[in-house]
Structure 1
């Protein structure tokens, strides 16, 4: 009888050991995995000056400077940064092709429903870029009848469409057309060649364009649409929560030290009033 019970005891012992191991499996943590591997893989769209852009084959810009500062708190971890098209960058994150997305994404409710945002890195208030000397447009309400240029899949497109529906059409005239481009550089080129009339875009992106080409472009203010911000994103799951918080903590640290304002002055020529230590509720 004693011999017959031995296999049963071994089976029960094995089962209890497996059960004890299950909670550890469930508590997998992406940030810990990154530290153990010694590598973090981050996706960026490097065609969004001055946030992210290519210079001599390397990614540079405001976002890259922030990233480098934050990753100082992950000593021994190598950064692998991928330059990818904007249109598929979030789908790739969901498919776990990389750990995190550090590119300028407008914080919207629709995106927050699917992804976990970091604290804001910049304002995303939308102003209007026009050709210098084009007196047809002096304020956002003058966009009626204009040919608009924007990036396909951008959140700015939603703001532009809502402004047409809520303001322009009630006052008499919507846009003449909306042209969708792969990236904003194509839209700026189309504006310069008179194929479109204006490019509504986030003010931080427009300021350097005008600084580089003051003979060609100028900005129409005030900004229009809801108050918006740019942030970075990770997957919205328990595995990624600590990594997203790591980046939020890093952004907050840079804000409080004054380093973030220093980088804003470097890349935009002005500083921004951003929420500190919190993720604002999107207005759209």
Structure 2
């Protein structure tokens, strides 16, 4: 197994051990709960993000832009306020939420059991399921994950794809007689994509919306294999006590699904419409 160093976002996503130490006892500065009246009075909804995750939140000419930014603007219009995105180190984003640095976290935060124990989530606003990126010329021979038997997989250290690797390896071995020939772990996903294009690996795991952006950036170079593993989504996170804010987010997301505005934003940023669950997934 080839090993490269971790990035800050990957470490947090990687597992419960990464989350447990800094998040066991967050400081709850709004014990009574922040209200929509508080947000309206301030004239702004402060949104924590990591602005290095296109097309959700990233910098363009120094300005934070992306799907999350456009969606937050549409949602905030119903309150007559503006969203203010605050770029935050991902490893400390939940403690920063409870320290009062911002009101919500909106940065493609996927649902996970340990996160659901620490924050209150909205209903899904984006897909976060895994997909497999392959070379376009391999689309005829790799049509499912089982076709990766005897091939090399590329993943980012600490990512959901790395966490899924053992189960996928067993699934492929059961279906095809042998699992991956090798798993190479990279510091970041772009390095894994480069290895894919150079033939060093045969497939790279990442979330579907992120791979949609990769496909848009290099038309004709890659193809997607989906689904991989269980379906999952991303939600907007708030403090547990801020129930009014969570109810408002759910109401807004339901409205934007019904009138189609959220799907128009997905077409703009990802190139396809996402299938969004109306409920937060549960974890045993």
TM-score, normalised to structure 1, is 0.76
Q: Which residue of 1 aligns with 2:277?
A: 275
- Superimposed CA distance per residue, residues 26-83 of structure 1 (whole angstroms, 9 cap, x where no aligned partner): 74535433333333321112333222222222222222211110011222x4432122
Matched residue SS, 1:133: helix
Indicate whether 1:41 and 2:49 are aligned. Answer: no
Q: 1:50 to 1:78 in 2, by over 3 A?
A: closer
Matched residue SS, 1:172: coil
Q: 1:113 to 1:31 in 2, by over 3 A?
A: same
Maintained 8 Å contact 2:33/2:243: no
Matched residue SS, 2:137: coil
- Distance in 1, matches of 2:247 and 2:56, equals 21
Q: Which residue of 1 aligns with 2:103?
A: 99
Q: Which residue of 1 aligns with 2:237?
A: 233
Matched residue SS, 2:86: strand
Maintained 8 Å contact 1:87/1:153: no
Decide which of 110, 113, 119 is 2:123's aligned counterpart: 119
Q: 1:96 to 1:193 in 2, by over 3 A?
A: farther
- 1:138 is displaced (CA, Å) by 3.7
Maintained 8 Å contact 1:40/1:80: yes
- 1:190 is displaced (CA, Å) by 4.2
Maintained 8 Å contact 2:150/2:178: no
- 1:169 is displaced (CA, Å) by 4.6
Q: Which residue of 1 aligns with 2:10?
A: none
- Distance in 1, matches of 2:181 and 2:96, equals 33
Decide which of 60, 67, 80 is 1:55's aligned counterpart: 60
Structure 2: unaligned runs, 5 residues or longer: 1-29
Q: Which residue of 2 aligns with 1:90?
A: 94
Q: Which residue of 2 aligns with 1:172?
A: 178
Maintained 8 Å contact 1:164/1:175: no
Matched residue SS, 1:271: coil
Decide which of 199, 202, 206 is 2:207's aligned counterpart: 202
- Distance in 2, matches of 1:264 and 1:117, equals 20
- Distance in 2, matches of 1:186 and 1:90, equals 28
Q: How does 1:180-219 map to 2 (within 5 A)?
A: 180-182=186-188, 184-194=189-199, 196-219=201-224
The root-mean-square deviation of aligned C-alpha atoms, in Å, is: 2.8
Q: How many residues align?
A: 252
TM-score, normalised to structure 2, is 0.76
- Distance in 2, matches of 1:78 and 1:41, equals 9
Maintained 8 Å contact 2:145/2:172: no
- Superimposed CA distance per residue, residues 185-211 of structure 1 (whole angstroms, 9 cap, x where no aligned partner): 443344335554422122222123112
Matched residue SS, 1:275: coil
Q: Which residue of 2 aligns with 1:248?
A: 250
- Distance in 1, matches of 2:162 and 2:272, equals 25
